[in-house]
Amino acid sequence: MKSAVIVFPGSNCDRDMASAIESVSGRAPEMVWHRDSDLPAGVDFIAIPGGFSYGDYLRSGAMAARSPIIAVVREAAERGTPVLGVCNGFQILTETGLLPGALMRNKSMHFTCRDAALRVENARSVFTHGYDEGETIHVPVAHHDGNYQTDADVLDRIEGEGQVAFRYLDDINGSARGIAGILNAKGNVLGMMPHPERAIEKAHGNMDGRRLFEGLFEKVF
Amino acid sequence: MKARVTITLKNGVLDPQGKAIHHALEGLGFSGVEDVRAGKVIELDLAEGASEDDVDAMCRKLLANTVIENYAIEMVD
């Protein structure tokens, strides 16, 4: 089994993500620089970490979404490789079009850094089957642009198809219908604003994020 | 030749920045504003031979996110 973490200039949760992957899977991921035009051979899981790629210039995730490595990530996603984007990684996935919608400035205009209570809406995907449907979990958020928006038709469609993976129990950032994380139609791409890689060990305060990686690695490896 | 690209949020898309500006104006005593929408202007200094079509492609590929934004191109001599 092999994982890859994509690193952009301005990524700052790449090492947290690597540490979480290693802690759960027992094997450190390959760190892949954004200018690379290939993934290491045999990668079974790709993580796009949080941070502020390219300083959030133009729009959060906009520049990173056009980098050479993302074209390869897109091909892997289309072949069915699981791809997880957290925070800035979620923003990048929407900018690439692998996930619908867009992440806009928080309704409050403030950077929000706190624990968020989430309801697991879909516990059938490779990422979420370690949870129970309807279960409440706690995962930290830390973002300025986490306000998920898209038009009503797309919202109805993704709700109807079970693509909403996680929903905030409180209004954290103004997201349409409280959406905190969404899957693509095939269910192998997950984008979420909360940081599961920051809820891995006892010292983090809770270990609810660990179960996402445990469930995923059980399915993938 | 220069191109000026004006990027605005689509109608109906919540604009927290515009709302904050509106509140700030009200706080300063300007009561005559119904709504504020914030956007951005990008000026491109074009190389010889670059056309409006090229700028349009740039807008679609990078400069605007057409999920939430509209753009308008103005070619300036």
The CATH number of the domain holding residue B16 is 3.30.1280.10
CB–CB contact A58 B63 (8 Å): yes
Res A85: pLDDT: 98
Q: Select from A129, A131, A97, A125 the least CA-distant residue to A187.
A: A125
B33 pLDDT more than 90: yes
Res A106: pLDDT: 95
* Residue A100's CATH number: 3.40.50.880
Residues of the domain holding A124: 3-220
Residue from A13, A34, A87, A129 carrying the catalytic annotation: A87
Residue from A34, A129, A143, A195 carrying the catalytic annotation: A195
Question: Which amino acid is it at B34?
Answer: E
Please, are residues A104 and A173 in contact by the beta-carbon 8 Å criterion?
no
Res A10: pLDDT: 96
Strand pairing partners for B44? B3
What is the ipTM score, two decimals? 0.84
Please, are residues A77 and A112 in contact by the beta-carbon 8 Å criterion?
no
B38 pLDDT more than 90: yes
Res A90: pLDDT: 98
Q: Select from A119, A121, A104 the least CA-distant residue to A173.
A: A104
Whether residue A102 lies within 8 A of chain B, CB to CB, comes out as yes
What is the rounded radius of gyration, in angstroms, for the C-alpha atoms of chain A? 15
As to burial, measured by CB atoms within 10 angstroms (0-12 exposed, 13-18 middle, 19+ buried), residue B34 is exposed
Q: Select from A166, A84, A163, A158 the least CA-distant residue to A117.
A: A166
Task: List chain A pLDDT tens, one digit each, 221 residues.
Answer: 899 999 999 999 999 999 999 999 999 999 999 999 999 999 999 999 999 999 999 999 999 999 999 999 999 999 999 999 999 999 999 999 999 999 999 999 999 999 999 999 999 999 999 999 999 999 999 999 999 999 999 999 999 999 999 999 999 999 999 999 999 999 999 999 999 999 999 999 999 999 999 999 999 87
CA A108 to CA B60: how far, in whole Å?
29
Res A174: pLDDT: 95
Output b/e per residue, A107-136; b: 16+ Cβ within 10 A: beeeebeeebbbbbbbbebbbbbbbeeeee
Res A117: pLDDT: 98
CA A74 to CA A97: how far, in whole Å?
9
Confidence band (pLDDT; 50, 70, 90) for B12? confident
Mean pLDDT in chain B? Answer: 94
What is the domain count for chain B? Answer: 1
As a whole number, mean pLDDT of residues B20-36 equals 95
Residues of B in CB contact (< 8 Å) with A are 12-14, 16-17, 20, 61-63, 65, 67-68
Of the candidates B16, B63, B68, which has its C-beta nearest A109's C-beta? B16
Q: Return the ∠ at Cα A193 (arms to A192 and A198), rounded to 5°.
A: 95
What is the domain count for chain A? Answer: 1
Spell out where A97-195 has E strands: 102-104, 112-120, 136-143, 147-149, 164-168, 179-183, 189-192
Residues of the domain holding B32: 2-76
A205: number of Cβ within 10 Å? 12
